[in-house]
Amino acid sequence: MIEKFDVIVIGAGASGLSSSWYLAKSGLKVCCVEQGDYIKNTDFIPIENGGEIQRYRELSFDPNIRDNRCDYSIDSSDSPISIANFNGVGGSTVLFSAQYPRFQAQDFKSFSQDSVGFDWPISYKDLKPFYDLNDKITGVAGLEGDPFYPDIKNLLDPVPLGRMGKKILNGFKNLGWHCWPAYSAINTREYDCRPKDNYSRPSNMGNQTGSKGSTDNTYLPKAIKEGLIIKTKTKVIKLIEDTRKITKILCRDESRNKFYLEAKIFILAASGIGTPRILLNSKNDNNFNGLSNSSGLVGKNLMLHPLGYVEGFFKDNLYSNVGPQGCCLISQQFYKTNQQNNFKRGYTFQVLRGPLPIESALNLTARKIIKLGDDFLTKFLSIYNHTAHLTVITEDLPEESNYIMLDHLKVNEYGEPGISIHYKLSDNTKNMLSHGLSKGRLLMKESGAYKSFAFGPVKSTGWHIMGTCKMGSDPKTSVVNKYGLSHDIKNLFIIDSSIFPTSAGVNPASTIQALSLFISEKIITKYKNLLHK
Amino acid sequence: MNNLSKPLSLLFDLAIPESKFLSSPTSELIKSNNTIFCQEKIKEFCQTNSDILGIIEKHTNNIPFFSLEEIKKFLSEKIGKELTNQFLMEFNELIIFSFFSSSKVLKNLPIPITEDEIIEALEN
């Protein structure tokens, strides 16, 4: 007997859980299918007991290192940036740093404004109510009054800047550059029955207490309360299509049993990698290139936010490796196109807390800044907590020559293909990155650093995977319409970052979730006829 | 954890020598690190590099080493620069994982690691 639902959501990450909640609370019978498992509090080893090593095993951001049962191979050898993600309930928000800025209004209009990229078929104004709703559910720390985000209200107090943040803030002030406390999905006080963060675990290493705004902490309990059925450790092998409709999905559970699930509406929320992978894997006699791929764009226009890194070494102990990893300060001084630059669009500076001792020591020895031997510990301690960290998040522009494809050379135990990434930095991005690294070093100098380093793109930073199932109004040049509905399949929606036409220059989690809520609302209102059939 | 071999203990102690921040020699601290990951890493390292560890042990039975640099020089002459560098690179990773995941090390180093220490460092 095949189980039947109103809606099946594939993927329990940022977009999947937010949509599942919205649809379940609207009275629909919703099932969310997730290939990974729940992350339990007991899965985390406290940092003081050596928990950092989990970052190199089961909590690694690299699927090939982590190699959990639910992970599939991702070959990034043809790319200067490798993919980072997490598969499990909460998806990559389990390990995200909790940086939570919104896109700016101008980010939705890059073609009209700067003749690059594409205009989104929706605007900031369309998403604004859903950004607000998402902030309310998530709990966002920050400071009102930012000139770049004048309409953001009801924030929790900012995450404490600490000595490093204050030091760099002075540098920004001296240079007259924009700088603002980071928008962070972190509880700086008890919020919505979730506790205040105690900062004892960096935000990018999971969260034991529920204080981080990852979707397993925020949307999941609410969705369960509304009746969501969640099937974990269940892989979606294929979407079954008949006459331009998905009729059912073929799944496999942890006991290796295959089974089908049926629904009136199917929603793909499996990330910028997972969603095109499922579509490409679902090819049939009428759709040789995969489903929803009449445009040929499934997997193309991959954007990854190439990241630059700047370090400033200081004499003072700044406690710079303490606290929530990504959540200190941001600057959008160089965010918009400036005709004097040799690139269009721009980037965000993020002042970060540095990594924990293992990662720091591995980095410093690999770069020969310190070495094992007599004074190893003294030198290590003169740098650890004495280094300010800054990233440059560049706006990546869409290009069809950057793409993902099925990798039939690296198959799993069932013969199902992995994924390979084919990606190059454009000249525009290279110039932007170079500008950011140079300005970053200037900032470090102005803040009092005695030495600075700058490098990029950083290899293991492909967290923000966007563009691989582009949204647009023309079926020839896009995969889904402005409400996330496939141009080719009548009852298939895509709600994750794969539908972003452009990437902006900030972390996408907040926009992914706002967009997911926006589309969910359209499913309830504009496409309710699909639910009655 | 089982006892560490003599050459591996020596390497650990020379790579991170005794210091006011450490309550015991590095090899002892690492020996008490019970994380499975580190135990597996050490086992794997010893198996992969048993020949080189044997060469070091044989030499130390007659003449002691006083620094990691001495061992590096000795090995370069014995097995060549390339193999020595590969060995030391693997050792570098091993000691960093094993040392900085030891709770005894983390609690003694002057870095905020407990909840109270972290809040104090961040908020004051």
What does the pLDDT look like over A208-219, one tens digit per residue? 899 999 999 999
Mean pLDDT across A85-95: 96
Alpha helices in A139-270 (DSSP H): 162-175, 219-225
CA-wise closest residue to A110 among A304, A336, A278: A336
Residue A379 falls within a domain, yes or no? Answer: no
The count of domains in chain A is 1
Chain B closest-CA separation from residue A199 CA (Å): 7
CA-wise closest residue to A391 among A146, A83, A148, A168: A168
With a cut of 90, say whether residue A493 has pLDDT above it: yes
Provide the CB-side half-sphere exposure for A99 (13 A, CA): 26
Residue A365 falls within a domain, yes or no? Answer: no
Domain ranges for chain B: 6-123
Say if the Cβ atoms of A372 and B15 lie within 8 Å. yes
A198 contacts in chain B (CB < 8 Å): 115, 118-119
With a cut of 90, say whether residue A157 has pLDDT above it: yes
Confidence band, pLDDT 50/70/90 cuts, at residue A339: very high
Cis peptide upstream of residue A306 (ω within 30 degrees of 0): no
With a cut of 70, say whether residue A23 has pLDDT above it: yes
Say if the Cβ atoms of B118 and A323 lie within 8 Å. yes
The predicted pLDDT at position B1 comes to 54
Instruction: Give yes or no for a contact between A309 and A454, defined as CB atoms under 8 angstroms apart.
Output: yes
With a cut of 60, say whether residue A462 has pLDDT above it: yes
The predicted pLDDT at position B3 comes to 78
With a cut of 70, say whether residue A289 has pLDDT above it: yes
Residue A218 falls within a domain, yes or no? Answer: yes
Mean pLDDT across A22-34: 98
Confidence band, pLDDT 50/70/90 cuts, at residue A326: confident
The predicted pLDDT at position B2 comes to 58
The predicted pLDDT at position A524 comes to 97
Closest in B15, B101, B122 to A373, CB measured: B15
Confidence band, pLDDT 50/70/90 cuts, at residue A305: very high
Mean pLDDT across B97-120: 93
Confidence band, pLDDT 50/70/90 cuts, at residue A41: confident
User: Which residues form the domain of A424?
Assistant: 3-354+386-532
A163 contacts in chain B (CB < 8 Å): 121
With a cut of 70, say whether residue A374 has pLDDT above it: yes
Residue A421 falls within a domain, yes or no? Answer: yes
DSSP string, A421-442: EE----HHHHHHHHHHHHHHHH
Residue A372 falls within a domain, yes or no? Answer: no
Residue A182 falls within a domain, yes or no? Answer: yes
Sign for the CA dihedral angle at A102, A106, A110, A114 comes to: negative
CA-wise closest residue to A131 among A110, A157, A168, A101: A101
Residue A369 falls within a domain, yes or no? Answer: no
With a cut of 90, say whether residue B34 has pLDDT above it: no
B14, B33, B101, B120, best to mutate vs chain A, most A CBs in 10 Å: B101
B8, B44, B96, best to mutate vs chain A, most A CBs in 10 Å: B96
Say if the Cβ atoms of B122 and A200 lie within 8 Å. no
With a cut of 70, say whether residue A183 has pLDDT above it: yes
Residue A371 falls within a domain, yes or no? Answer: no
Strand partners, A79: none
Residue of A nearest to B106 (CA): A48
Domain at A241, CATH number: 3.50.50.60
Confidence band, pLDDT 50/70/90 cuts, at residue B124: confident
What does the pLDDT look like over A250-284, one tens digit per residue? 999 999 999 999 999 999 999 999 999 999 999 99
Tell me how many degrees the CA angle A47-B105-A360 measures, rounded to the nearest 5: 60
What does the pLDDT look like over A390-419, one tens digit per residue? 999 999 999 999 999 999 999 988 899 999
Closest in B14, B22, B103 to A50, CB measured: B103
Say if the Cβ atoms of A199 and B119 lie within 8 Å. yes
Mean pLDDT across A340-369: 97
With a cut of 70, say whether residue A533 has pLDDT above it: no
Chain B closest-CA separation from residue A462 CA (Å): 24
Long-range contacts of A254-260 (CB under 8 A, 24+ apart): A254/A69, A259/A2, A260/A2
Q: Identify the burial level of A275 via C-beta atoms within 10 angstroms of its C-beta, where 0-12 means exposed, 13-18 middle and 19 or more buried.
A: buried
Quote the CA–CA distance of A222 and A18 in Å, as a whole number: 10
